[in-house]
Amino acid sequence: MRSTLIRSTAQRMFFAALFALTAPVYAGSLSVSIEVPRLQVSEYHRPYVALWIARENHQVVTDLSVWYDTALRNNEGEKWLKDMRQWWRRSGRNHTMPIDGVSGATRAPGVHQLVFKAGEAPLGNLEPGSYVLNIEAAREVGGRDLVQIPFEWSAENSERVYKASGDNELGNITLRVF
């Protein structure tokens, strides 16, 4: 019994060491391309956009990116963060803005490419599993859009591409896991 125990402890240590070495196998990347549509409206403001990863039960794993109006005096741009109402409920309201490495200025219409690397903020070490990428946009005197893309994050790291699109405030969204 005793020797078995020792042996299994040693085995465990061996596997733990092996796991530590092999852990970077999980480390892949996420790339997200987000189309901010060009809209013909009399009054246009760039949308606020939030990107975050949640588990299937909506629990937030990490915020990836938050675009809001950072140029207004007295942080007045923060007043409208709650218009991204799902993000605000799930994550935003628990933060103090700005969020280091996550939040930044709004972006112009066009396609924006974002890459997040495993092991680096803000993606960090994502455990293998099923997740949902959420992209929410809200535009002043405009509308609001939420796109949800379920995806698998696994050890194999074979490339997978997921496509979705918004209704009005978001255009085509492509998520690439590799």
Partner 1 sequence: MRTLMKRSFAALFILSLAANSYAHRAWILPGATVLSGDDPWVTLDAAISNDIFHTDYHAMRLDDVNVTSPKGVSVALQNAHTGKYRSSFDLNLTEPGTYRIYTASNGLLAQWLSDDGQRRRWPGRGEAYTDEGFQNNVPSEASDLRVTQVSRRIETFVTAGAPTEQVLAPSGSGLELVPVTHPNDLFADETAEFQFVIDGEPAAGTQVVAIAAGMRYRNSQDAIETTADEQGKVSITWPHAGMYWLSATYTDERAAEPATQRSGAYTGVFEVLPL
CB of 143 vs partner 1, minimal distance in Å: 4
Say if residue 51 is exposed, middle or buried (CB neighbours under 10 Å; 0-12, 13-18, 19+). Answer: buried
DSSP string over 74-134: GGGGGGGGGGSHHHHHHTGGG--SSPTTTEEE---SEEEEEEEETTSTTT--PPSEEEEEE
Find residue 131's DSSP bridge partners. 55, 151
Q: Does 76 bind partner 1 (CB under 8 A)?
A: no
**Taking contact as CB under 8 A, which single stretch among the options 21-29, 62-70, 101-109, 143-151 is the one that binds partner 1?**
143-151
Find residue 110's DSSP bridge partners. 36
CB of 146 vs partner 1, minimal distance in Å: 8
Q: Does 167 bind partner 1 (CB under 8 A)?
A: yes
Q: Which of 87, 108, 98 is nearest to 45 (CA)?
A: 108
Which residues have a Cβ under 8 Å from the Cβ of 118 and sit 6 or more positions away?
26, 27, 28, 29, 124, 125, 126
**Taking contact as CB under 8 A, which single stretch among the options 113-121, 124-132, 134-142, 170-178 is the one that binds partner 1?**
134-142
CB of 176 vs partner 1, minimal distance in Å: 27
Q: Does 71 bind partner 1 (CB under 8 A)?
A: no
Q: Does 141 bind partner 1 (CB under 8 A)?
A: yes
CB of 166 vs partner 1, minimal distance in Å: 10
Identity of the amino acid at 14? F
Residues in contact with partner 1, shown as a per-residue x/- string from 20 to 59 under the rule CB under 8 A: -----------------------x-x--------------
Query: How many residues belong to the site for partner 1 (CB under 8 A)?
Result: 11
DSSP 8-state code for residue 144:
E
Find residue 145's DSSP bridge partners. 137
Q: Does 145 bind partner 1 (CB under 8 A)?
A: yes
Residues of the shown chain interacting with partner 1 in the complex, contacts defined by CB under 8 A: 43, 45, 79, 140-145, 167-168
